[in-house]
Amino acid sequence: MTNLAQLFFDAASLGGLYAMAALGIALIFGVMNLVNFAHGEYIAFCVFALIVPSTDAVAVMFLGKAPALILIPLVLGIGALIAVLSEYAVFRHLRRADPVAMMVASFALGFVIRNILLAVYGGRPKAISLWPELNTPVELAGASVPLLQLIVIATTLIVVAALALLLRKTRLGLEMRAAAENFTMARLLGVRANVVITGAFALSGALAAAVALIMVTQSGVADVRVGGQIMLVAFIATVIGGMGSLPGAVAAGFLIGAVSVLLQAALPLDARPFRDAFLYTLVIVCLLLRPQGLFVPASAKPRI
Amino acid sequence: MMSKLGVFDISVRYGKIPAVTDLSLQINEGERVFVSGPNGAGKSSLLGAISGAVATSHGRIEMDGDLLTGRQPEAIARLGLSMVPEGREIFGALTVEENLRVGTGMRRDVQAVEADVGEILDAFPILAERRHAAAGALSGGQQQMLAIGRALMTNPKLMMVDEPSLGLAPKIVDQVYETLCALQEERSLTLLIVEQSSLRAARVGGRMILMRGGRIVGEGNAADMADREALAQAYFGAPRSNSDMEAAE
């Protein structure tokens, strides 16, 4: 019998990571009906921004050398910047295009970013040690929990609370919520499309950076493929949560994290390698029962 | 009188289908102008073209000497044009007060914004009561009032109202027009209203423009125009629209 407290911390920290990644996707979908498949590559980009560009097997810290107080805002800024730049270079020109065209463009953009990383850093995963002291275990509620797990859980809560506050209490938040519901009407009231969309991309990119920092600390590996895996889970979370619903994305992120941890613990040993098959079966069941998502947004979301 | 809005020879087409053809129109400062005509006459496309939501294929539009053609809708709104759209288009997930505040981002007179919120909530007690409730829960009439209040919050010089009577009971429509007229006087607004019922326009009073097939086919005092239309209908048996019947009750 696995320790219950241990399970809880595993589930909450994995779920928190998924929730943050899902939020990044849901934010952009909410304002412009774009499923941004390049989001995973923003994460990978932020990971590699930590190390010196080279194709050597050993990673040499670059930005990663900076103290946390400087490093964290810097990486969040880099995430925001690449997201905003990609909007400026690609998506801005497709705003009147079909959502499918935008989605395909996001795939293409993702491949471009990934291949640039491959060209500059090489394809082999690199060992990278960011804040290794955070992986020391702490005794809590009878469980031995890596400090990082607690930090991930706290970070998720802080990020979600800060985002909720931003959306509820600030001018940009009000405009983003209005635009998410009816972009044309918001513009007719003087809400600037560029401000809202740039804001959404910046927030989304910063979320990708937060995910990158957590993943790299947890795994100790910089791998170009890192983005693809989490992007898939995050995308599924936004669909299960109800496309465009931010609370839905958070809840579904936590749900998927919790279910994977539970499956990992509860499945018979022989079945564990196939955990994801069970997980995605549950996803299918979930969608069959509620194709509109577990948390449906208050209204349909027309685009600009 | 000064010209507020000048529409010069504009055309709007959706693909190959023309919605508005070579239309010109002048609206003076402080005027109240109704646009009437059957479904598909191009009334909403005209408003869309002025607000920047719909592209024109030809012609130009000016407000206070500023060229509106080719500008983004948000830029036009920032020049002082506000819109109460057909179907009201309330932000249902936002609260009543938040709906009022969406359009205030362009305003730097913070104190006046607060005063305006208070004033509009005073003018519509039902909105004050539901101030912090989701706007989607309001009735149709209340949503219409909210849409008008929301448009006023941008502090517009010219306000366009598209089919304010759509889907509302005649009594509520009376209230909506009373409110619009009172607000116009109070704030020296210029109003451009799409109203399918020429009888309703005649009762409220103002200039009326009759559109058909994307063109202006008649223009004059609303009361005279409604008489003329009634006469034409009596002779030619043109079908009366539902809203005419409603207003006639």
pLDDT in tens, A245-267: 888 899 999 999 999 998 888 88
pLDDT in tens, B96-131: 999 999 999 899 888 999 999 998 898 888 899 999
Contact B143, B90 (CB under 8 A): yes
A·B CB contacts under 8 A: 73
Please give the Cα distance from B242 to B223 (Å, whole number): 19
Please give the Cα distance from B243 to B198 (Å, whole number): 9
Please give the Cα distance from A202 to A80 (Å, whole number): 4
Q: Does A164 touch chain B (CB under 8 A)?
A: no
Q: How many C-beta neighbours within 10 Å does residue A41 have?
A: 28
Please name the residues in contact with B234: beta carbons below 8 A apart, sequence gap of 6 or more. none
DSSP letters for A5-16: HHHHHHHHHHHH
pLDDT in tens, A33-68: 899 999 999 999 999 888 877 777 777 777 777 777
- Largest alpha-carbon pair distance within chain B? 57
pLDDT in tens, B175-187: 889 989 998 998 8
Q: Does A182 touch chain B (CB under 8 A)?
A: yes
Please give the Cα distance from B14 to B56 (Å, whole number): 10
Q: Which fold has domain B3-248?
A: Rossmann fold (3.40.50)
Q: Which of A178, A188, A298 sits opposite B85 (nearest CB)?
A: A188
Chain A hits for B74, Cβ within 8 Å: 187-188, 190-193
Distance (Å) from the C-alpha of residue B221 to the closest C-alpha of chain A?
A: 30
Q: How confident is the model at residue B237 (pLDDT cuts 50, 70, 90)?
A: low
Please give the Cα distance from A270 to B118 (Å, whole number): 67
Please name the residues in contact with B153: beta carbons below 8 A apart, sequence gap of 6 or more. B100, B101, B102, B103, B104, B113, B116, B117, B120
Average pLDDT, chain A: 86
Q: Does B77 touch chain A (CB under 8 A)?
A: yes
Cα B155 from chain centre:
15
pLDDT reported for residue A33: 86
DSSP label of A55: -
- The share of chain A scoring above pLDDT 70, in percent, equals 95
Report all structural domains of chain A as residue ranges with CATH numbers, in order of start. 4-289 (1.10.3470)
Contact B135, A177 (CB under 8 A): no
Please give the residue of chain A at the shortest CA–CA distance from B52. A188
Compute the Cα dihedral for A45, A48, A53, A57 and give only its sign. Answer: negative
pLDDT reported for residue A121: 84
Q: How confident is the model at residue B248 (pLDDT cuts 50, 70, 90)?
A: very low
pLDDT in tens, A220-253: 888 888 888 889 899 999 988 888 788 889 999 9
Distance (Å) from the C-alpha of residue A175 to the closest C-alpha of chain B?
A: 6
B136·A175 Cβ contact <8 A: no
Of A264-273, B12-21, B53-62, which gets the smallest average pLDDT? A264-273
Give phi and psi for B211, each to the nearest 5.
-110, 145
Please give the Cα distance from A13 to A218 (Å, whole number): 11
